[in-house]
Every structure is written in structure tokens, then in C-alpha cells.
Amino acid sequence: MRVLRAFESAGLEYVLIGAAAMGFHGLVRATEDLDLFIRATPENIEKLRAALRAAYEGDPHIDEISSADLLGEYPAVRYVPPAGDLYFDVMTRLGEIASFESIDAEVKNVDGIHVQVATPAALYRLKKDTVRALDRADAAALRERFALKDED
């Protein structure tokens, strides 16, 4: 929650995806990471670094998150905070399949924090055709819980 609060305070343009996003929709499973898409601009990447600095004060590794990486050919980075008990997979796009702009999202209010979360249909589209068995299981749970169809 501290990080989500920092995202909001910094004005980060993001959308939460993955298992954490599923949890916001009532489908809870264990995860060790927070997956998110952010808007692909140098200004927004600086907002990401500012938010992480606020949440993890003094961590010099935050400065290793670069615009060159997130705006480059392979636009994804993994940030592991000092405690190492949770990590962040941050992306600006996933090939031609998805980006911040293409993911339908909704705002969830949790303890006064506005969290941008991918919709169940958006999560289903991201997970249904992957090779990971866990993603396919997530997609099946989303399909069942929200009566989604393949065209969703």
C-alpha cells in the first residue's frame, strides 16, 4: 500500500496487471511481484523513480531504472527493493500485444488510495494465450468468475 500511495502522490500514470490486479477483483492467489504497465514517456519514468524513492528511501538501485531501458527495444525492468520480499516488473509495452494505452483499466479505491487496475477482461486477454500454465489457470478463473468469452 505504501508503494501504491507513492504512485498516486507522484502522479504516476500506470495500470496494475497480473496476480495483484486479480486480487483487486476478488481472485486472490499468492504472488511475489507487482506487475505494471506505465505510460512510456521520460517524464512518467521519472515519476516512477520519484515514487520508488519515496517508498524506498535511500535505495541507490532506483537510479538504475532508465528511460533508455523502458523506452527501448526491450521495455521492461525488474526492480527489487532492499527488503527483497516483493519485486516489481515494470513495462511500457509487451511487444505488439499490450501497452499502457491499450489496457482497459478501472480505478479501485483502497484506504483512500486510487489504484489503476486492469479490468477482468483486459487481464483475461493478457493471460489466456500464454505458455505459462499459471497464466492459463488465471485466465480460466477470470473467465469463470466474470463470464468472459474469448472475444473479451
In sequence order, the β-bridge partners of residue 16 are: 36, 117
CATH number assigned to the domain comprising residue 49: 3.30.460
Q: pTM above the 0.85 mark?
A: yes
Q: In this predicted model, what pLDDT tens digit does every residue of 19-47 receive, in sequence order?
A: 999 999 999 998 889 999 999 999 999 99
Structural domain including 104 reads 2-142
CB 111 within 8 A of CB 1: yes
Note the pLDDT of residue 85: 81
Q: Is the pLDDT of residue 152 over 70?
A: no
Note the pLDDT of residue 47: 98
Q: In this predicted model, what pLDDT tens digit does every residue of 98-144 receive, in sequence order?
A: 999 999 999 999 999 999 999 999 999 999 999 999 999 999 999 99
Helices vs. strands in the chain: H and E counts, helices first = 6, 8
Helix, strand and coil content of the chain, in percent to the nearest 5, comes to 40, 25, 35
Does residue 152 lie in a domain region?
Answer: no
Of the chain, the percentage scoring pLDDT greater than 70 comes to 99
Nearest CA to 18 among 109, 152, 149, 123? Answer: 123
Q: How many domains are contained in the chain?
A: 1
Q: What is the mean pLDDT of the chain?
A: 94
Does residue 151 lie in a domain region?
Answer: no
Does residue 150 lie in a domain region?
Answer: no
Q: Is the pLDDT of residue 75 over 80?
A: yes
Note the pLDDT of residue 95: 85
107: which 3 cell numbers? 480505478
Does residue 149 lie in a domain region?
Answer: no
Does residue 12 lie in a domain region?
Answer: yes
> Which class for 83: exposed (0-12), middle (13-18), buried (19 or more C-beta within 10 A)?
exposed
